[in-house]
Amino acid sequence: MPAVAVPRPVAAVPRMRQTWDLELNWQSEAGCRGSDANLFFSPTHLESKEERAVREIAAKAICGDCAVRKPCLEFALMTRETHGIWGGMNELERRHAVRAAVS
Ligand code: SF4
């Protein structure tokens, strides 16, 4: 999967951004539309480390071919999305990206 430069909207948005005025038309081109949402979000039952790794690899492969990966990731970073794979990054990776952007 090609590297994506992490956008730096975070410094200008120190707290979670509300979504009411954000442009969301990119979602109509989402590569994950019609995909199994269970690939992108943790199940409600306990998931082993191996199961999680397999699930996330499959989700990130879809993100890797997605035409709107950049706005998807920007949205997730701006809104501090706390669950799921967005823009090819999981929750922990996004948290690290936000932390790196503000430091
Ligand atoms: S980058 Fe991934 S999560 Fe975001 S719209 Fe594309 S396929 Fe869906």
Q: What is the pTM of this model?
A: 0.81
pLDDT at 6 over 90: no
Of 65, 63, 73, give the one whose Cα is nearest residue 94.
73
pLDDT tens per residue, range 64-88: 999 999 999 999 998 899 999 999 9
Q: How far is the CA of 50 from the centre of ligand 1 (A)?
A: 22
Q: How far is the CA of 15 from the centre of ligand 1 (A)?
A: 23
Could you tell me if the CB of 72 is within 6 A of ligand 1? yes
Sequence-separated (6 or more) residues with CB below 8 Å from residue 69: 4, 31, 63, 87, 88
Which amino acid is located at 61 in the chain? A
pLDDT tens per residue, range 29-57: 999 998 888 999 999 999 999 999 999 99
* pLDDT for 59: 97
Which amino acid is located at 26 in the chain? W
Q: Where on the phi/psi map is residue 101: left (φ > 0), alpha (ψ -120 to 50), or beta?
A: alpha
Could you tell me if the CB of 69 is within 6 A of ligand 1? yes
Of 62, 89, 79, 67, give the one whose Cα is nearest residue 10.
79
